[in-house]
Amino acid sequence: DAGITQSPRHKVTETGTPVTLRCHQTENHRYMYWYRQDPGHGLRLIHYSYGVKDTDKGEVSDGYSVSRSKTEDFLLTLESATSSQTSVYFCAIRPSAPNEQFFGPGTRLTVL
């Protein structure tokens, strides 16, 4: 998994609770990404980061926030989880060149 870990790997939570997912890389790559994967939708970009404290929104960012205070860590927060956020979440890193991204093992989140 290209030096990428995600924690937790599985989580069950209740609607309305805050949830934070962590992505950690050992490679010191500048670019990091958070995706969600749902049946029939492939991978959809939530947020991405192009450096410490530099982040931007993806196509499905509503209800999510991110933070990156260190190069190696990229956090995804659901401030108030909803059932529609039940999904598998993947973190990815991108070496400076070329454009391919390498993915972590994923976090399966269930919101009841």
Partner 1 sequence: GESVGLHLPTLSVQEGDNSIINCAYSNSASDYFIWYKQESGKGPQFIIDIRSNMDKRQGQRVTVLLNKTVKHLSLQIAATQPGDSAVYFCAETRSNDYKLSFGAGTTVTVRA
Chain residues in the site for partner 1 (CB under 8 A): 1, 31, 33, 40-45, 48, 50, 58, 90, 92, 94, 98-106
In the complex, the smallest distance separating the C-beta of residue 44 from partner 1, rounded to whole angstroms, is: 8
Nearest residue (CB) to partner 1, 20 versus 37: 37
Nearest residue (CB) to partner 1, 32 versus 111: 32
| Ramachandran category for residue 28: left, alpha or beta (phi over 0 → left; psi -120 to 50 → alpha) | left
Nearest residue (CB) to partner 1, 33 versus 74: 33
Mapped to the 3 state alphabet, what secondary structure does 33-64 carry? EEEEEECCCEEEEEEEEEECCEEEECCCCCCE
